[in-house]
Amino acid sequence: MDFRELRNAFGRFATGVTVVTCTTDDGEPHGATVNAFTAVSLEPALAQVTLGRSSKASQFLGDRPFAINVLAEDQLDVAWHFAGRPSDRPPTWVEGPAAPLLDGSATTISCQPWRTYDGGDHLIVIGEVDAVVVTAREPLLFFGGQYRYLNPHHEAAPGTHWGGSVDCPTSGWFDADSFRPLVQSSAC
């Protein structure tokens, strides 16, 4: 199997963007950007994240509480920060019921350690959910190797079909709510 072809195939599945947070051996907050998150079970309440074995976070999650922070659409800098491109302005931490949380997330899922499984070059970490916080904030998405936005009118949403053209209905040069194209399109 060609590694690049497999990676491209996996990348065709759109996901949300999460940062898994926990504490280090010294009790300091730590996080890792992860798009491999899955709801596992309602009874018992279980959630899964998958982390590369070489990531620092994988060293801390085996026996510690952790949180899954579903990032909001305005947290792109947070996603990059925990993906290895630290920003000048560090993210804001808040105390959570099980592990530190990131301020401003669309949703947080706090977990106690439940099971860890071998996942090849990754670890499959399952946590028992003990608290959630759900907001009305729109999520940040990831698809095809790029961050994306659920809202097509978001200022940073890619104009994939229009290629950044000023003719794109979301570019603001005319009232997009009253414009009716001759042929309906699902995206611009």
The residue-averaged pLDDT of 144-154 equals: 79
Q: How far apart are CA 25 and CA 177, in angstroms?
A: 53
Residue among 33, 50, 66, 70 at smallest CA distance from 125: 50
* Domains of the chain listed by start with CATH number: 3-142 (2.30.110.10), 158-188 (no CATH)
Q: Over 70: is that where the pLDDT of 184 sits?
A: no
Q: Over 70: is that where the pLDDT of 1 sits?
A: yes
The residue-averaged pLDDT of 59-84 equals: 91
pLDDT of residue 108: 97
pLDDT of residue 70: 96
Least confident stretch, 53-62, 63-72, 103-112, 134-143: 53-62
pLDDT of residue 157: 58
pLDDT-derived band at 151 (thresholds 50, 70, 90) equals confident
0.95 cut: is pTM over it? no
pLDDT of residue 173: 43
pLDDT of residue 169: 43
Per-residue pLDDT tens over the stretch 2-33: 888 887 888 787 888 999 999 998 999 999 98
pLDDT of residue 84: 87
